[in-house]
Amino acid sequence: MMAIKKDPVDVVIVGFGWTGSLMAMELADSGLKIVALERGEARDTWPDFAYPRIADELTYGIRLKLFQNAAKETITIRHAQADTALPYRRFGSFLPGDGVGGAGVHWNGMLWRPLEADLKMRSTVIEKYGADFIPADMTVQDYPFTYREMEPFFDKFEKICGTAGQAGNVQGQLLEGGNPFEAERQNPYPTKALEQQYSGKLFSQASKALGYHPFPVPAANCSEPFTNPYGVQLGVCNYCGFCERFGCFNYSKASPQSCVLPALKQYTNFELRTESHVLRVNTDSTGTKATGVTYIDANGQEVEQPADLVVLSAFQLHNVRLLLLSKIGKPYDPISGEGVVGRNYAYQMNGGISLFFNEDHTFNPFAASGATGMFIDDFNAENFDHSGLGFVGGATISATITGGRPIQQMIAPKAAPKWGTGWKKAIKESYLHTMNVGSSGSVMPYKQCYLDLDPTYKDLHGQPLLRMTFDWQPNELKMTHFIGTKAEEIVRQINPPHYEMGFKTMEAHYDVRPYQSTHTTGGAVMGDNPKTSVVNKYMQSWDVPNLFVLGACCFPQNLAYNPTGIVGATALFAAHAIRTQYLANPGPLVQA
């Protein structure tokens, strides 16, 4: 069947979540003809997230209505190169989004800026501890830009989202109640911090007693009336308890639907085509210029969309797969260490402790946002001395409650019966009287952890699936053991009648079944050297200069924080570079 060829456009954007919508919005008033292609269905706050339909945990939380259908396309997974990779039949560990808004619809809303050391991790570690401190198989890299370069774009993205928080360092002045470890910011958060739950107050008191520095999590859950830089008015969070895995019916949790699309829809030079699954980026005979993309439309017809500029803004895994399918960039070879596409894949290392109280402590978990909680950063990144600890990286420690939903958010002691009358009794006794102290840890990249195309399994279009080779490494297992001891100190200070540890042992292997986070990174990393990176600091392909690749696939390693803050800011950074440099002089951008 012959492909239909569309009229050429100036820009084609592949994927329409946070990065795709931000790129489209930032370029829209330039007059360029822009087409965005989204593989999933059209979705908007109304009617798709309307209340009470959206508050349906079985449909959205368990049956994963907003997420990628693994029956149509999935990935294959193995722990090591010697293992046989098998298809991931039901997503559990992480949940790729699908449809307009992507993962920007179903996230919890924690919106972090990186620490300065996060962006210069390799050089910071070498400066402090020497090059031998880095394990031989660890491929940690610095980001190619500085925090100071990115600060205006972190600020802009926070304002687009109406972010709620308490700043810790404004123009060099440390502020009480904020994060004393954060890098200097020019402005406070756009809206005040969310209200704290009882669990956060207990955690805060215990942390302070131990000499730590608790602060409220920065939240893209708007806390007061706010109009963002695009002229879009955001609602005020009502703590409904339905954030992660759900769209926000209240226009409060930042998403493309609540923050960007109302303004973008006004531009007639922008077109969004949904149910458009991109198969590959097309290039000319030299392989150094993108000519557009080929996709399958809603009718199953193959369509060619010519374009002068191509932007990959799909989910991290999908961007890497598209590069491999399109034969753009040299695939990574773990044996020789050569090649770049698929290199530096990393996940995230989490742990937690469940605290069980008597009836004298009531937590009301149902009254929560997706980002209600208190954190400490005392053991994150390079905020503490690693000498003698034997690992690189660190973690946040926090007390957060994101909801009290009846299926996934019921907690009972491990000794309780798993069903029947005894289970009901344990749930009744625990529901209002339980809290959690958790950790979110960084994961470094390794030579043996990477992405490539599977030689056996294919998707419904006959294209190879992406293959993930990944397992926990000793560095991260040492890190989480250390963090577990610090979290337990805080729990002992809180002094519940009973608590249960949930940190990985040194013998642990990556388990794809339980949900951990959707914070997958790497595979198309940014850098200042084409031999160790896929894109430059502006997210521009080294090999195909009219191709830009956005999102967490560009991260050299995974932070303890969730990735959305850097994802949004770097998309704005790339859009600014396109507008101010590339459009006037198309070609490789000079790295300042």
- Which candidate in 277, 361, 386, 519 is catalytic? 519
- CA–CA separation, 364 vs 368, rounded Å? 8
Say how many CA atoms lie within 13 Å of 472 toward its Cβ: 22
**DSSP label of 131:** G
- Tell me which residue of 412, 439, 423 sits closest to 352, measured CA to CA: 439
CB 519 within 8 A of CB 528: no
CB 513 within 8 A of CB 92: yes
Say how many CA atoms lie within 13 Å of 216 toward its Cβ: 28
Torsion over CA: 118, 121, 124, 129 (sign): positive
User: What's 525-574 look like in SS3?
Assistant: CECCCCCCCCECCCCEECCCCCEEECCHHHCCCECCCCCHHHHHHHHHHH
What residues form DSSP beta bridges with 174? 169
- Tell me which residue of 133, 191, 131, 136 sits closest to 160, measured CA to CA: 191
Which backbone phi and psi does 424 adopt, to 5 degrees? -60, -40
Annotated catalytic, 213? Answer: no
| Cα–Cα distance list, 177 to 85, 210, 214, 286, 376 (Å) | 47, 16, 7, 56, 11
| Residues annotated as part of the active site | 519
